[in-house]
Amino acid sequence: MTIDGGKLDVPVVWHEDCLRHQPAGEVWLGLREDGTEVPERATVILSGLQGAGAPVVATLPHDPAALLAVHDPALIEHLRTIWADWEAGGYPADYGRDRVVPYVFPTRAMLAGLPLRAPAATHGRVGMFCYDTMTLVGPGSWEAIRAAADCARTAAGLIASGQQAAYALCRPPGHHAGRSGYGGSCYLNNAAIAVQVLRTAGVSRVAVLDIDAHHGNGTQSIFYDRPDVFYGSVHVDPGAGWFPHYLGFADERGDGPGLGANQNIPLAPGSGDEAWLDAVARLCEQVRNTGAEAIVLSLGVDAAAADPESPLQVTAGGYRAAGELIGKLGPVAVIQEGGYDLASLGEYVLAALSGLQSGLTARTEVSATE
Ligand code: SP5
Ligand code: ZN
């Protein structure tokens, strides 16, 4: 597929290590299923974008400080070491447990107000950090988690140095990961890492637009009390029974100094281009009002009609139109989130980025004549 008016010039930031995460399924409602967050997602997207002429850019060298700017050091340490501990504990060889998965969760209801202690057993410790059973860790997971964060950091750096758009092909995705916990196929919050890079580079106001089909509960929680980072999301209504179930409602507006800088637009299952684009346009209007100087776009394409993980019915044309609206707002660091239909994934990401490119072109042409 090619795009209107020639090739795609948005640089694609990519690291091969993103393929090393092989969750090998998810435990859903007590049963191990194949899972949809597979390495082929990234290869399909990469070849679609390269086919459209996009330049591929390598990541900057890893910088642990970029991760620590967002996450609790204990979460980073857990992700870095848990596979080795799991293997050393004999869970794969002696018990047939080939991936790290939690089974006890220290919820508020369990602790009943008593302090959280770090469990002695490796298998007891996982639930301190992982809040669901669908987000498995295996041998190459850490290398991929780190590479995905590096992609995000690099794309944000390009925006900070004056590029109008850059796309980070992050895998695994990140928007469900919070400051100290992970879940929803996400481990570290790539979008939040990009935001912090921009803030540190002197961008005083940043807006995150999250158009993944699911609410980005991790990103929301990281910035919930921050007035300098707006978070806006359109997603399938958690109140209609969809992941992440507990967060993503319209009355979550931020807290303290961040009150008003959080906006959720939940949509009914089955919603298509019209309702979805109307929500995207409303979020864009709010971003304009916040005076954000740069946008971080959490681009999940799982709102696609054929996607197995969401009941939204957005077309590739819808994603193109959304990209165009967002490109008119300002420079954009795009972070790959979800999207699981391997047959249409490449087309949808390309549609979003080509829309973004034409929105940016329209915007810079307007400002050149002002
Ligand atoms: C980044 C992202 O899009 N994460 C999505 C996580 C939502 N996972 C919910 C999984 C629900 C179980 N899926 C079973 C599909 C039918 N077998
Ligand atoms: Zn999603």
Residue 297 main-chain phi, psi, to 5 deg = -100, 110
Q: Atom 15 in ligand 1: which residue has the minimum CA distance?
A: 309
Q: DSSP readout, 64-87?
A: HHHHHTTS-HHHHHHHHHHHHHHH
Ligand 2 mean position to 240 CA, how many Å?
15
Nearest atom in ligand 1 to 176's CA: 1
Q: Which numbered ligand comes closest to the C-alpha of 174?
A: 1
* 3-state SS class at 336: strand
- CA angle 307-230-259, nearest 5°? 120
Confidence of residue 91 (pLDDT cuts 50, 70, 90): very high
Q: Are 357 and 166 within 8 A, CB to CB? A: no
Q: Which numbered ligand comes closest to the C-alpha of 26?
A: 1
- Hey, how many other C-beta atoms are within 10 angstroms of the C-beta on 156? 31
- For 28, 143, 164, the CA distances from 185, given in Å and listed in that order, are 12, 15, 29
| Amino acid letter, residue 24 | A
| Amino acid letter, residue 54 | A
The per-residue pLDDT for 46 is: 98
* Rounded average pLDDT over 146-172: 98
Percentage of the chain beyond pLDDT 90 is 96
Cα–Cα distance for residue pair 107/347, rounded to 1 Å: 41
| Amino acid letter, residue 295 | I
Q: Atom 3 in ligand 1: which residue has the minimum CA distance?
A: 338
The per-residue pLDDT for 181 is: 98
Active site annotation includes 176: yes
Ligand 2 mean position to 161 CA, how many Å?
30
- CA angle 329-191-319, nearest 5°? 50
For the entire predicted model, the pTM comes to 0.97
* 3-state SS class at 324: helix
96 pLDDT more than 80: yes
Ligand 2 mean position to 337 CA, how many Å?
7
Cα–Cα distance for residue pair 71/221, rounded to 1 Å: 12
Number of H-type helices and E-type strands within the chain:
12, 10
Q: Which numbered ligand comes closest to the C-alpha of 33?
A: 1
Nearest atom in ligand 1 to 33's CA: 17
Confidence of residue 2 (pLDDT cuts 50, 70, 90): very low
* 3-state SS class at 288: helix
* Rounded average pLDDT over 74-93: 98
Cα–Cα distance for residue pair 324/326, rounded to 1 Å: 5
Q: In the numeric block, which tokens belong to residue 50?
A: 């390269």
Q: In the numeric block, which tokens belong to residue 246?
A: 């507990």
Nearest atom in ligand 1 to 172's CA: 1
Residue whose token pair is 């807290």: 255
Nearest atom in ligand 1 to 28's CA: 12
Confidence of residue 1 (pLDDT cuts 50, 70, 90): very low
Q: Are 87 and 122 within 8 A, CB to CB? A: no
Ligand 1, pocket residues at CB < 6 Å = 28, 33, 134, 173, 176, 184-186, 212, 214, 243, 300, 302, 308-309, 337-338
The per-residue pLDDT for 273 is: 98
Q: In the numeric block, which tokens belong to residue 123?
A: 């298998």
Helix (H) or strand (E) holding 296: strand 294-299
- Identify which of 34, 175, 185, 235 to mutate to test ligand 1's pocket (most ligand atoms within 8 A of the CB): 185
Ligand 1 mean position to 310 CA, how many Å?
8
Residue 350 makes CB contacts below 8 A (sequence gap 6+) with: 1, 3, 8, 48, 49, 52
Residue of 176, 214, 215, 235 marked catalytic: 176
Which residues are registered as beta bridge partners of 299?
A: 336
- Of 2-6, 56-60, 87-91, the poorest mean pLDDT is in 2-6
Nearest atom in ligand 1 to 212's CA: 3
The per-residue pLDDT for 367 is: 79
10 vs 367 pLDDT, higher one: 10
- The CA R_g of the chain, rounded to the nearest whole Å, is 19
Per-residue pLDDT tens for 185-204? Answer: 999 999 999 999 999 999 99
Ligand 1 mean position to 119 CA, how many Å?
28
Q: Are 182 and 130 within 8 A, CB to CB? A: yes
Ligand 1 mean position to 226 CA, how many Å?
28
Cα atoms found within 13 Å of the Cα of residue 138, Cβ hemisphere only:
17
Q: DSSP readout, 107-141?
A: -HHHHTTSPP---SSHHHHGGGTB-SSS--B-TTH
Q: Which numbered ligand comes closest to the C-alpha of 173?
A: 1
Per-residue pLDDT tens for 215-263? Answer: 999 999 999 999 999 999 999 999 999 999 999 999 999 999 999 999 9
62 pLDDT more than 70: yes
Q: Atom 8 in ligand 1: which residue has the minimum CA distance?
A: 184
The per-residue pLDDT for 333 is: 98
* Rounded average pLDDT over 317-342: 98
